[in-house]
């Protein structure tokens, strides 16, 4: 079922609620990109947008699934008029890639109705004008349920204006109490409550110097002091930083920004300093630094722990090991870049190079770096990690699958093969310039391409043993008949 679609799809006749197959049929093959609806992610995005919208008003409430309610009473003065405020909201939304409709009205109900069902994308409804603005709108604009809309349609009422003509007393008894309440809300006669979100300010610490300094030691000392302050604040909040943003204000230059991220929440000033120090030493100071600010922009919960001295000799306790391990990976990720310190995960696929993927340590359990065959090397260091849903779904490691070689070449290498009969076992293989008589040949294991992805040849896999005892994993492309080595034992 279609939950949402783009403008082009709407023009082609796709509507909300029609089956996905019908929407797919309206376009040529491959022109449609369908994605599964994720209501929880939509909700999270809406909440984030509500936090963002605090630039327009101090009271912002998300109105799921697709709206924001802003109490702008008094705010219009800051923006020099309600028209300008509304225009600004639309402009900033467009800058974020969002198409927005909006209305300012004396009541939330009225603004809700006009914004969604009004003629213009942006409307300002003046005081006492609600009745006039609501009149031509459909009954659905009153936020009543489908039953009430249907009941009204049965007696021929489709517009709100027609409701005004009915006696108030009959509305609750015939169409339910909700309708009258919603009507009163839209006319600002009944009370409406909203649930505004409150943005949480991340813990931060800042120092401004008397004058610019180029003394690295002074700056480093200041950063350490700020880290101590931040650590105390984080301890108070019972959380740890997942990401730190360090801003160094430079005189006569744009500020330098450093970002360090941790695989596990941490508030240990010593460890955080060890991550920042090498980065700080490489920062260009310009004509001097006059301001240092640190913001813990991503937080994670980190409970208080009791210091133990019992396990000192025998080994490392579990929580201690987790902390040490996280600090180790952070330090490495800080030097090599996060995408070069990875964990492996298995993906539900039979194609060998797709069956495993790498993900950044501490990230969610989805492939986030690359397919196995793609080197996560320097070329991509600058890029943010892409979360590509096309990489496939993670699967459980204990799933029963056939044995695979421990060495898988990044790219299958062509190999010359001699077989006594056209489809018979391999008798001799020539790889990397050397001839190998083959003493054993097992196979084939056929792996068909995944038809729902881009076309790939079907492969027949063989395990061969060369005379030296080395086992290799070969495959033959069924369509072309070419042979490749993909790995070995």
Write out the binding residues for another protein, residues 353-382 only, by CB under 8 A: 355-356, 358, 361, 372, 375-378
Closer CB to another protein, 158 or 274, in the complex: 274
Q: Order across the sheet with 204-213: list the strands.
A: 204-213, 289-301, 239-250, 256-266
Least gap, CB of 396 to another protein (angstroms): 8
The footprint of another protein on residues 85-144 (CB under 8 A) is none
Site track for another protein across 323-352, x = CB under 8 A: xxx-xxx-xx--xx---xxxxxxx---x-x
> What is d(CA 213, CA 290) in angstroms, rounded to the nearest whole number?
7
Least gap, CB of 479 to another protein (angstroms): 16
Q: Is 316 in the site for another protein (CB under 8 A)?
A: yes
Q: Which of these segments, 34-42, 118-126, 196-204, 392-400, binds another protein (CB under 8 A)? A: 392-400
Closer CB to another protein, 108 or 462, in the complex: 462
Q: Is 424 in the site for another protein (CB under 8 A)?
A: yes
Site track for another protein across 441-480, x = CB under 8 A: xxxxxxxx-xx--------x--x-x-xxxxx---------
Q: Which of these segments, 24-32, 71-79, 167-175, 439-447, binds another protein (CB under 8 A)? A: 439-447
| Tokens describing residue 418 | 């001699």
> For the chain, how big is the Rg over CA atoms in Å?
32
Closer CB to another protein, 135 or 446, in the complex: 446
Pick the binder of another protein from 38, 45, 155, 321 (CB under 8 A): 321
Closer CB to another protein, 201 or 306, in the complex: 306
Among left, alpha and beta (phi > 0; psi -120 to 50; other), residue 149 is alpha
The footprint of another protein on residues 296-315 (CB under 8 A) is 311, 314-315
Q: Which residues pair with residue 71 across a beta bridge? A: 59
> What is d(CA 259, CA 9) in angstroms, rounded to the nearest whole number?
40
Size of the site for another protein (CB under 8 A): 84
Least gap, CB of 262 to another protein (angstroms): 15
> What is d(CA 104, CA 135) in angstroms, rounded to the nearest whole number?
17
| Tokens describing residue 346 | 């298995």
Contact assessment for residue 370 and residue 314, using Cβ atoms and an 8 Å cutoff: no
Give the number of other Cβ atoms within 10 Å of residue 315's Cβ.
9
H helix or E strand, kind and range, residue 46: helix 39-52
Closer CB to another protein, 162 or 374, in the complex: 374
What are the φ/ψ torsions at residue 482 (nearest 5 degrees)? -85, 150
> What is d(CA 361, CA 385) in angstroms, rounded to the nearest whole number?
12
Contact assessment for residue 110 and residue 186, using Cβ atoms and an 8 Å cutoff: yes
């Amino acid at each position: 079922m279609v939950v949402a679609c783009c403008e082009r799809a709407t023009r082609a006749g796709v509507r909300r609620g029609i089956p996905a197959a019908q929407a797919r049929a309206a376009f040529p093959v491959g022109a449609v990109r369908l994605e599964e609806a994720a209501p929880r992610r939509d909700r999270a995005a809406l909440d984030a947008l509500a936090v963002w919208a605090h630039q327009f008003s101090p009271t912002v409430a998300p109105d799921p699934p697709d709206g924001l309610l802003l109490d702008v009473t008094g705010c219009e003065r800051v923006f020099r008029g309600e028209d300008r405020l509304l225009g600004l909201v639309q402009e900033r939304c467009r800058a974020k890639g969002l198409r927005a409709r909006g209305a300012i009205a004396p009541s939330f109900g009225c603004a809700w109705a006009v914004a969604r069902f009004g003629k213009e994308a942006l409307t300002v409804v003046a005081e006492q004008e609600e009745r006039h603005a609501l009149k031509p709108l459909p009954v659905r604009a009153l936020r009543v349920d489908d039953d009430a809309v249907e009941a009204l349609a049965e007696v021929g009422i489709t517009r709100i204006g027609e409701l005004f003509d009915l006696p108030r007393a009959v509305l609750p008894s015939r169409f339910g109490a909700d309708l009258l309440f919603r009507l009163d809300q839209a006319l600002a006669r009944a009370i409406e409550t909203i649930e505004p979100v409150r943005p949480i300010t991340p813990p931060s610490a800042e120092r401004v110097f008397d004058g610019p300094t180029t003394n690295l030691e002074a700056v480093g000392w200041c950063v350490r002091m700020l880290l101590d302050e931040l650590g105390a604040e984080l301890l108070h909040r019972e959380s740890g930083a997942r990401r730190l943003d360090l801003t160094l204000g430079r005189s006569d230059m744009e500020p330098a920004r450093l970002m360090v991220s941790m695989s596990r929440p941490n508030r240990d000033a010593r460890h955080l300093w060890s991550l920042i120090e090498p980065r700080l030493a490489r920062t260009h100071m310009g004509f001097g630094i006059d301001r240092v600010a640190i913001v813990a922009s991503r937080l994670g919960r980190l409970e208080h722990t009791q210091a133990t001295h019992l396990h000192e000799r025998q080994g490392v306790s579990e929580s201690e090991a987790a902390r040490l391990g996280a600090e180790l990976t952070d330090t490495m990720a800080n030097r090599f870049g996060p995408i070069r310190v990875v964990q492996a995960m298995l993906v539900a696929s039979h194609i060998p190079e797709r069956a495993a993927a790498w993900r950044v340590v501490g990230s969610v359990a989805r492939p986030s770096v690359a397919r196995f065959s793609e080197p996560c090397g320097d070329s991509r260091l600058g890029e943010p990690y892409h979360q590509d849903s096309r990489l496939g779904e993670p699967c459980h490691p204990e799933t029963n699958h056939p044995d695979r070689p421990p060495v898988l070449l990044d790219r299958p290498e062509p190999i010359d093969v001699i077989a006594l009969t056209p489809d018979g076992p391999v008798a001799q293989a020539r790889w990397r310039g050397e001839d190998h008589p083959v003493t054993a040949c097992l196979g084939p294991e056929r792996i068909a391409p995944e038809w729902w992805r881009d076309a790939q040849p079907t492969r027949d896999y063989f395990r061969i043993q060369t005379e030296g005892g080395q086992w290799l994993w070969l495959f033959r492309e069924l369509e072309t008949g070419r042979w490749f080595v993909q790995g070995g034992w």
